[in-house]
Chain A
Amino acid sequence: DAGVIQSPRHEVTEMGQEVTLRCKPISGHDYLFWYRQTMMRGLELLIYFNNNVPIDDSGMPEDRFSAKMPNASFSTLKIQPSEPRDSAVYFCASSLYEGHEQYFGPGTRLTVT
């Protein structure tokens, strides 16, 4: 298996632009997670899905952030409009079932200027 796949690996955009991050979980994994990592706030969970259904989105910063999982093999995290404070590394992770190891993707480094 190729592991969790994320694209793009790097994204540089201007403030106000829309940004879409993409994730393909490991095949057969029922859970998908979106995390954000910054020096100030560490590694924080934004939202997670179980069988394509959002379960907990309490970590989503504000209405500018939205996430979807239209099928078991694809998820997106969208920021519209983007702001400089959104600059961070965004990780997607997946796990087989509840309480099981989470496998992280390589991350997307987002820079908003």
Chain B
Amino acid sequence: GENVEQHPSTLSVQEGDSAVIKCTYSDSASNYFPWYKQELGKRPQLIIDIRSNVGEKKDQRIAVTLNKTAKHFSLHITETQPEDSAVYFCAVVLSRGNKLVFGAGTILRVKS
């Protein structure tokens, strides 16, 4: 089945620094790549997504880049703030159907 690898598993940064989380996938025909943020005790919520016809997408302090050839995509958060502390999940929609496969998650801690 589809394999989604996410790194690092934990990430600590100083407030104001940048954070980068990377994911790799195996289904070369996948075409939709969302990122979800989950705060403690809350539901996962979409923060940004990218489709395979685009290489980069930006929304204020967050951006996602996609390299389809290498089958990896990354989340970039600039000027991190304490409220960015959460678990971040990458996901891939398989080329067949509408099935989302999630990475294992990255615990991001922003120290003030």
- Judge if A70 is at the interface, Cβ distance under 8 Å: no
Per the 8 Å Cβ criterion, residues 27-41 of B in contact with A are 31-32, 34
Per the bound structure, the CA–CA distance linking A45 and B29 in Å amounts to: 20
Q: How far, in angstroms, from A44 to B100 measured CA to CA in the complex? A: 9
Stretch at the interface among B42-50, B56-64, B71-79: B42-50
In the complex, per-residue mask of A91-105: 1 if CB is within 8 Å of any chain B CB, else 0: 100010011011111
A91 to B93, CA, bound (A): 18
Which residue of the partner chain B has the closest CB to A43? B102
Name the residue of chain A whose CB is nearest to the CB of B46.
A101
Would you call B44 and A43 a contact (CB within 8 A)? yes
C-alpha gap A91/B45 in the complex (Å): 12
A106 to B43, CA, bound (A): 5
Complex contacts, A50 vs chain B, CB 8 Å: 98
Take A43-B102, A99-B31 as given contacts and tell me if A56 and B43 are in contact as well, using a CB distance cutoff of 8 Å.
no
Q: Is the CB of A42 within 8 A of B104?
A: yes
Which residues in window 91-112 of B have CB below 8 A to A? 93, 97-105
Q: Which residues of B contact A106 (CB under 8 A)?
A: 42-43
B25 within 8 A of A: no
Contact A56 B97 (CB under 8 A): yes
Cβ–Cβ contact A48 & B99, under 8 A: yes
On chain B, the residues within 8 Å of A107 by CB distance are: 43
Q: Is the beta-carbon distance between B49 and A48 smaller than 8 angstroms?
A: no
| Inter-subunit contact B104/A48 (CB<8 Å) | no
Q: Which A residues are closer than 8 A to B by beta carbons?
A: 31, 33, 42-45, 48, 50, 55-56, 91, 95, 98-99, 101-107
**B contacts, CB < 8 Å to A:** 31-32, 34, 42-46, 49, 51, 89, 93, 97-105
> Can you list 21 A-B contacts with CB-CB less than 8 angstroms, sorted by A residue number?
A33-B100, A42-B102, A42-B104, A42-B105, A44-B102, A45-B99, A45-B101, A50-B98, A56-B97, A98-B97, A99-B31, A99-B32, A99-B93, A99-B98, A101-B34, A101-B46, A102-B34, A103-B46, A104-B43, A104-B45, A106-B42
